[in-house]
Amino acid sequence: MDFFKNLKDIYKKVSEVENTIYSGKQDYLEIYERNLQLEKEIEERTRELNIANKRMLTLQHIWDMMNASRPLQSVLETIVNSIQGELGYLHCNIIKKCEDENGVYLTVLAQSNDTSIKRVDKLIKGPIQTRKLVYNDNSIYAKTAKSKQIELTLDIGGTLKSVIPEIPDDVLKEVVDGSPSKAIINIPLFARGTHFGWFNVFSSRKELTAGETDFLNMFAQQIEMAITIAGLFEEVKAQAVTDGLTGLYNRRYFEEYLKKEVTRALRQKQPFSIIGLDLDHLKQINDKFGHAYGDLAIKTVAEVLKRNARSIDTAARMGGEEFNVILPGVDSKGAMIAAERIRKALESEKLDTIKRITASIGVATFLEHSDNIEDILELTDQAMYQSKRNGRNRVTLAKPISETSWQEIAINTFMDILNKHNKQIGNEISENIKSKLQTEVPKEALYTVADMLTQTYNPLHQNGVVKSKVLLAVSLAKRFDLPKDEIDKLKIAILLYDIGNLMLPQELLQKTTPLTDAERQQIKEHPLIAAREILKPISAVQDIIPIIEHHHENWDGSGYPSQIAREEIPMTSQIILIVDAYYALIEPRTYRAELTPKQAVEVIKQDAGKKWNSALVQEFVTIIDIDA
C-alpha cells in the first residue's frame, strides 16, 4: 500500500511540475508574440516617419523655389523631378489646358526625366511633350477639373488614348503591357482662382491611401502657390523687357536674345534669319490724322507680327516705326517666304480712318550672308531701306556684293559639268538640277545641287550636309586668317571636291564587302579624275583644281595621290580633308553604321599629327564644341 501511495505522490508532484512548466511556457510565448508585434509596429512607424520626412523635404524644395523667384518653367521641372525621385513614383508630369483659334487642347508643361517616359516617347515616335494633346470632355481630366478632387484611374491605356486618339491600338497595347505603372493619380491645379491644369502621378500601386491623399492635396496647394508666385515673377520680368505700346519685346531684350541665338547658331552650325520692318509713311499718318492714329498703325504692325510668328520666333519693336523679327533655324529662302506673308497680311488690314498701311521689309541670314552679327544687322537695314527706295511695300533680300563672284563661278561650273557629263548624271536629274540653278536663290541652289549630285553615287547622303560642310570649312579657314579670295576658292572646292565620283562605277562606290587592292586604287583616282577630266577644261576654276587634287594628302605624307606632306599641302586642302572625314564618320555607309559626333571627334583626335595638322585638329574640336 505504501508503494502505491508513494507512486501516487510522485505522480502528483510530476503533474505539478508539468503544470508549472506549461504555465511558464505560455507566458514566454505571449511575451515573444508581443515582442514580434512591437517590432512590426516600430518598423511600420519608422517607415511612416521616413515617408513623412521625404514629403516634408519635397515641400521644403518647393518653398525654397518660391523664395528664389525662379522662372515658372524651372519651378515646374524641379517639382516633377523632386516628387518622382524622392517619393518613388514612376513618372510625374504637369499638364495645362490651353485654347487657340482651333479650340481647347492640352500641353505637357513639364515632366520627370525617367525611363518610363523615354520608353513611351520611343513607342509613339516622338516626345509627348512636343505634341498638342486632345481635350476630351469625358476624360479623367475633365472629371477632376469639374470635381476639384483627386481622382485615381487604373485605365492607363484609355487615358493615353483620350489625349492621343490617333495612337494605333497595337502601339497602345505595347505601351500599357510593358509599363510598371498600375494607376494614374490625377490632381487638379488652380492658380489665382482659375483652373491651371493637372498634376499627374504614375504609381506602381493600384490603391491610394488616406495619408497619400492628404499629402498630395497639400502638395498640390504648394504647387499652386509656386505657380502663382512664378507667374507673378514672369509678369514683372515681362514688363521690364516689353514695349508698353505694342506688348512686343523691346530693343534691350532683342539685343540680349540675339547674343544667345548667335551662340546657339555657331554651336549647332545652323543659320537664323532677321526680318527688319519699317512702317511706311508714319510721319504722314501722324501729321494728317494725329498721333493716336499713328499709335494705332504701330499697334497693328505688332498684332500682325504676333499672328504670323511661330512660337520660337522673337518679334521686337526697336523704336519708332522699326521692328525686327528673329527666325531661329530659318534660312534666307524660308525667311523671304515669312517676310512676304507678313507684308501681305499687313497690307490686307483694314483700319478706321487710316484705311490701309504698308511696310518696307529687309531680310538677312546669319551664316549665309555673314557670320558677323553686326554685319547681319547692317545688311538687314540696308535691305529694308532698299525696299523703301524701290517704292515701299516690298521685301528685299540682302545680297552682299562680296559673295556674288564665287557663287557665279560655282553656278557656271555646275552648268558646264551638267552639259558635258549628262550621260553619267542622267537626263532627268540633269534637267532638274539646271532648273534649280536658274530659278532658286543662288547660294541655296548650289547647296541643293551639290547634295543632289552626291546622292547620284551615294544614296545615303543626306540633304543639307553640303551646306553644313561649307559653313564648318569657312569657320576653320577664318581661324587661320585665310584671305577672302582663298575662302571663296574653298567654298567652291567644297561643292566640287568629290565630283570625280561621277565617273566611277556605282557598284564600286556602294559595295558592302571589303574592297580589293585594285578597287581601292580605282577609288583613290577620284581626285585626279575631278581635277583633270572634269574641271581642267573649265577655265574659271583653274585655281580650284590644286585644292581638290590634294584633298586626300595626309600631314605625314602617307596620303594620295602625290604623297606630299606638311606645309606642302594647301591649307584649303587640309580643311577639306578633315571636314570630309568628320561628315563621313557621322553619316551611315553601306558597310557600317554612323558614329555620334563625339565619337567622330575622338577618331579625328587620334590621328592628329599624322593624318592632319595638330593645330587644325585643335581648332576643329573647338568649333565643333560637342557637349559632354
Find the CATH number of the domain harbouring 330. Answer: 3.30.70.270
Quick one: 82 and 226 in the same domain?
A: yes
Question: Is 119 among the domain residues?
Answer: yes
- What's residue 304's pLDDT? 96
Strands 91-100 and 194-203: antiparallel
User: Comparing C-alpha atoms, which of 533, 528, 535, 534 is closest to residue 551?
Assistant: 528
CA atoms within 13 A on the CB side of 351: 24
What is the mean predicted confidence (pLDDT) over 165-192? 90
With both helix axes pointing from N to C terminus, report the angle between 427-439 and 404-420 in degrees, rounded to the nearest 10.
160
Q: What is the pTM of this model?
A: 0.40
Quick one: 501 and 578 in the same domain?
A: yes
Which strands sit side by side in the sheet containing 395-397, from one edge to the other? 314-319, 322-328, 272-279, 359-366, 395-397
Check residues 581 and 41 and name the one with the higher pLDDT: 581
Quick one: 471 and 559 in the same domain?
A: yes
Q: What percentage of the chain's residues is helix, strand, coil (to nearest 5)?
A: 60, 15, 25
Question: Is 416 among the domain residues?
Answer: yes
Check residues 311 and 20 and name the one with the higher pLDDT: 311
The last residue of one of the domains, among 399, 415, 435, is 399
C-alpha cell at 199: 498634376
Angle CA 296–301–303, to nearest 5: 90
Quick one: 181 and 267 in the same domain?
A: no
- What's residue 627's pLDDT? 36
Quick one: 276 and 299 in the same domain?
A: yes
Q: Please tell me the distance from the alpha carbon of residue 151 to that of residue 382, in angstroms, as a whole number.
A: 60
DSSP three-state, residue 175: helix
How do residues 253-311 score in pLDDT, each as one tens digit?
A: 899 899 999 999 999 999 999 999 999 998 889 889 999 999 999 999 999 999 998 88
Question: Which member of 77, 321, 549, 553 is catalytic?
Answer: 321
Question: Is 180 among the domain residues?
Answer: yes
How do residues 537-558 score in pLDDT, each as one tens digit?
A: 776 678 888 888 888 899 999 9
The last residue of one of the domains, among 343, 376, 399, is 399
Find the CATH number of the domain harbouring 441. Answer: 1.10.3210.10
- Whether the pLDDT of residue 36 is over 80: the answer is no
Q: Please tell me the distance from the alpha carbon of residue 499 to that of residue 457, in angstroms, as a whole number.
A: 10
Enumerate residues 6+ apart whose C-beta is below 8 A from 104.
97, 98, 135
Three-class HEC string of 125-163: CCCHHHCCEECCCCCHHHHHHHHCCCEEECCHHHHHHHH
| Per-residue pLDDT band at 314 (split at 50, 70, 90) | very high
Question: Is 26 among the domain residues?
Answer: no
Question: Is 46 among the domain residues?
Answer: no
The dihedrals phi and psi of 613, each to the nearest 5 degrees, come to: -55, 130
Number of H helices, E strands in the chain: 25, 11
Residues in the chain: 628
- What's residue 66's pLDDT? 47
Q: What is the mean pLDDT of the chain?
A: 81
Quick one: 392 and 409 in the same domain?
A: no
Quick one: 475 and 490 in the same domain?
A: yes
Question: Is 392 among the domain residues?
Answer: yes
Q: For residues 396 and 383, is the Cβ–Cβ distance under 8 A?
A: yes
Find the CATH number of the domain harbouring 198. Answer: 3.30.450.40
- What's residue 429's pLDDT? 74
Quick one: 393 and 419 in the same domain?
A: no
Residue 18 falls in the annotated catalytic set:
no
Quick one: 411 and 493 in the same domain?
A: yes
How do residues 558-616 score in pLDDT, each as one tens digit?
A: 988 889 999 999 999 999 999 989 998 988 766 677 888 888 999 999 999 999 899 99
Question: Is 498 among the domain residues?
Answer: yes
Quick one: 314 and 229 in the same domain?
A: no
Quick one: 459 and 580 in the same domain?
A: yes
User: Comparing C-alpha atoms, which of 167, 170, 84 is closest to residue 128?
Assistant: 167
Question: Is 17 among the domain residues?
Answer: no
Which amino acid makes up residue 511? K
The last residue of one of the domains, among 382, 399, 416, is 399
**What's the structural domain count of the chain?**
3
Quick one: 383 and 410 in the same domain?
A: no
Q: Please tell me the distance from the alpha carbon of residue 346 to that of residue 302, in angstroms, as a whole number.
A: 10
Q: Please tell me the distance from the alpha carbon of residue 266 to that of residue 272, in angstroms, as a whole number.
A: 10
Give the residue numbers spanning the domain of 221: 72-240
